[in-house]
Chains A and B, each alone.
Chain A
């Protein structure tokens, strides 16, 4: 079981992470736990720039050899860009889930909403509960 949970990130119960960037945007991906549970990732579909998202929208898809999984937007906002590098190298989500394996960048409608997400300890307890 993977416990790689960077303290500077925020998390969701549905296994996304959110990083605050200095320019007011956020970067979003799936957690190490999520990539590990999915297995070898062979395809990712990310939202197009300019798309308006509501919190909870299924806006990206990550597919392992075995199955497709929706990824939900942790926040409302407007998509700045999807991670185009994943088209040729979707395995970056496995190898570097918090770095090169990011999925999309977003300008949040309400930047304060980031603080309402789970911190690393809160996400850790979500994982602990699902283990039981």
Chain B
């Protein structure tokens, strides 16, 4: 039994190929995944991401609770609207989910979690919230769209009244603004594509009209297929592929999201510190295939340092080459071989991102 977002009828009317993603009927593409990818790199595309779940965490203990729950440090959020990317860990340091937390004001935070993990996350959050004076509100009354691309902010802001438009256009990256209260709009200059843009949360009942106005303004609808190739080019991890409960952030290219500089006691900290002391055995790297073929997830990676595996792989429409993220032994050098259907093909180890703001970030 799959769920549908408030925009499902729009996807069907646009002729989308609909697939089950994390229990939701979501558009894979509306005709050409490649065209949708290029539109986001060159102009503006919109993604329905209403399957993701916003969760409001409020109360006098909110900062203490989130400081305990999250591996990144919410105390860094001092200015209302500021956003922070973080992992939520189990006691073994394994990643339960990756999320964004927005600071909305004293004692008020909004967390956005992945669709496939939302139920598990909510149970975990509620359980760990018990000793704290906080209220946890699942905001399934909200829809969410991501408008991404070099023209995304201008086209989106053009739909709003002058004061709101100005506030949205004035946002620094990784900041949000909101207006209209709990049934209003929440706009963050965030995304998952490596391009500029907004992520907009709004009441579900207003989603269709907002979507239609975006399309009328010249923003093109884009599906989850393009979202995946865009995020991989941008070197952004996908939960469940590139990290999960069995891997730590340190093994997932996410060490930069773990705040160990203060004595804050967060879930998983002891395990991460133990792993640091004994040496992190593997790391997540980028791969660029040097021969013809397509890297996919779950291919074995070979080098003198030992064996690893790809966690995500694709054809990169921007680079016209195949790229991947791979988890390899810590001592892996600059060249590896990847097993594709029994053949060993050469790949170069590179540091993600592969693409940012429409441009190659690695030498080809």
Residues of chain A touching chain B, judged by Cβ–Cβ distance below 8 Å, are 39-40, 42-43, 45, 61, 63-68, 87
Binding site for A on B (CB under 8 A): 17, 28-29, 32-34, 37, 225, 229, 292-294, 296, 314-315, 317, 322, 341
Cβ-neighbour of B34 out of A63, A65, A87 (below 8 A): A65
Q: Is the CB of A66 within 8 A of B293?
A: no
* Alpha-carbon separation in the docked complex, A63 to B315 (Å): 9
Q: Are A66 and B225 in contact (CB under 8 A)?
A: yes
A40-B33 in contact (CB<8A): yes
CA distance A63 to B294 in the complex (A): 8
Contact of A65 among B17, B229, B292, B341 (CB under 8 A): B229
Identify A43's interface contact among B28, B34, B293, CB under 8 A: B293
Contact (Cβ within 8 A) B293 A65: no
Cβ distance A2 to chain B, nearest Cβ, rounded Å? 13
Query: Quick check: B33 and A43 within 8 Å, CB to CB?
Result: no
Contact of A43 with B341 at beta-carbon distance under 8 Å, contacts A63-B315, A65-B314 already known:
no
Alpha-carbon distance A66/B37, docked complex (angstroms):
12
Report the separation of the CA atoms of residues A39 and B341 in the bound assembly, to the nearest whole angstrom. Answer: 21
Q: Which residue of A lies closest to B35 (CB)?
A: A40
Q: Is the CB of B29 within 8 A of A39?
A: yes
Enumerate the 5 nearest inter-chain pairs by beta-carbon distance, A residue then B residue, closest first: A42-B315, A40-B34, A63-B294, A43-B294, A65-B33
Total A-B Cβ pairs within 8 A: 37
B19 CB → nearest A CB, Å: 10
Interface pair A43/B315, CB less than 8 Å apart: yes
Q: Which residues of A contact B293 (CB under 8 A)?
A: 43, 45
Residue of A nearest to B314 (CB): A65
Chain A residue nearest in CB terms to B17: A39
Contact A68 B33 (CB under 8 A): no
Q: Please, how many angstroms separate the alpha-carbon atoms of A37 and B44 in the complex?
A: 26
In the complex, the answer to whether A68 meets B29 with C-beta atoms within 8 Å is no
Give the shortest distance, in Å, between A88 (CB) and chain B (any CB).
10
The reply to whether A42 and B294 form a contact with Cβ atoms under 8 Å apart is yes
* Given A65-B34, A65-B314, A66-B225, 18 other A-B residues pairs in contact with their CB atoms under 8 A: A39-B17, A39-B28, A39-B32, A39-B33, A39-B225, A40-B33, A42-B34, A42-B315, A43-B293, A61-B341, A63-B315, A64-B33, A65-B33, A65-B225, A65-B315, A65-B317, A67-B296, A68-B294
Inter-chain CA distance A96–B192, complex, in Å, is 34
A92, B13: Cα distance in complex, Å: 28
- Give the complex CA separation of A63 and B34 in angstroms: 13
The answer to whether B292 and A43 touch across the interface, beta carbons within 8 angstroms, is: yes
Q: Shortest beta-carbon distance, B316 to chain A, in Å?
A: 9
- Contacts of B34 on A, CB cut-off 8 Å? 40, 42, 65
In the complex, what's the smallest C-beta–C-beta distance from A12 to chain B, in angstroms?
A: 21
A21 to chain B, nearest CB (A): 28
Shortest B266–chain A CB gap in Å is 37
Tell me how far the C-beta of A125 lies from the nearest C-beta in chain B, rounded to whole angstroms: 23
CA distance A28 to B317 in the complex (A): 28
